[in-house]
Structure 1
Amino acid sequence: MQAFRTAVERHDLDALETLLAEDVVFTSPVVFKPYRGKAITAAIVRGAARVFEDFRYRRVIGAADGRDHALLFTARVGDREISGCDFLHLDESGRIDELTVMVRPLSGAQALQAAMAAQFERIAQEAQEAAARSGA
């Protein structure tokens, strides 16, 4: 999905948020339970943008007009190199209703988990503020 890729690469997180369905489900590589809803998903993506360094998409898999896409990326978290994939599913209106992230190796996933945990108070606050603004 080119719009998602462009928004991430340009750090245009407001544009990225407009691509999310209200009922989007975000599945994280470092927690068991999925997160549900646009406000928390957008806040998590903002947190990840603060954590990842040298983030680059390397390849996109999926038909341009399809509803399923895989975007392979590389990044760093601190001194750990990460390879990963964003799996996107689009609803009938073209909004992202599922966003699943997978990363490797284990040491990179552990570094990501620690870095995101350090962000989580801010992420929760951003999600709460966004939900209040939208009336959710």
Structure 2
Amino acid sequence: MRAFREAVEAGDLEAVEALLAEDVVFTSPVVFKPYPGKAITAAILRAVTRVFEDFRYERELGGGDGRDHALVFRARVGERELSGCDFIHLDEDGLIDELTVMVRPLSGAQALAEAMGARFDEILQEAEARSAPAS
């Protein structure tokens, strides 16, 4: 998905969030349960941009119907190099309704889990603030 890739590469997190469906489901490479909803997904993606260093997409793959995409990436978390893939599914409106991330090797996934775990309270607070109704 070119729009998502370009927004991530540009660091335009507002554009990334605009591509997410309200009912998007994010599946983490290091946590068993998926995270449903735009607010938590956007908060997680914002935190990941602070954790990943030297992030770059290397390849983009597409499915036959145009609704399934895979973006292969490389990054570093501290001293750990990792490679991974963002699996993206689009809904009928062209918005991302599923985002699954996988990473390897195990040492890279462990470094990612540790770095994200250290930020998870602030991720939850941001998600709650973004999903709270405006008064």
| TM-score normalised by structure 2 residue count | 0.96
Query: What secondary structure sits across from 1:73 in the alignment?
Result: strand
Residue in 2 that maps onto 1:50: 50
Which runs of 5 or more structure 1 residues have no equivalent in the other structure? none
Residue in 2 that maps onto 1:88: 88
Q: Cα deviation per residue 1:61-109 (whole Å; 9 max; x = unaligned)?
A: 0059700000000000000000000000000000000000000000000
Using the alignment, how far apart are the partners of 2:133 and 2:121 within structure 1?
Answer: 19
Query: What secondary structure sits across from 1:26 in the alignment?
Result: strand
Shift of 1:59: 0.2
Using the alignment, how far apart are the partners of 1:134 and 1:4 within structure 2?
Answer: 27
CA 134–32 in structure 1, closer or farther in 2 if over 3 Å, else same = farther
Shift of 1:122: 1.0
Residue in 1 that maps onto 2:10: 10
Using the alignment, how far apart are the partners of 2:134 and 2:39 within structure 1?
Answer: 9
Which runs of 5 or more structure 2 residues have no equivalent in the other structure? none
Amino acid at match of 2:29: P
Amino acid at match of 2:67: R
Using the alignment, how far apart are the partners of 2:80 and 2:133 within structure 1?
Answer: 36
Query: What secondary structure sits across from 2:44 in the alignment?
Result: helix
Residue in 1 that maps onto 2:100: 100
Question: Over the residues paired in the alignment, what is the CA RMSD in angstroms?
Answer: 1.5
Residue in 2 that maps onto 1:120: 120
Provide the identity percentage.
72
List, as ranges, runs of 4+ consecutive aligned residues in structure 1 with deviation greater than 6 Å.
Answer: none
* Superposition pairs of residues 17-96 of structure 1, within 5 angstroms: 17-62=17-62, 66-96=66-96
Amino acid at match of 2:26: F
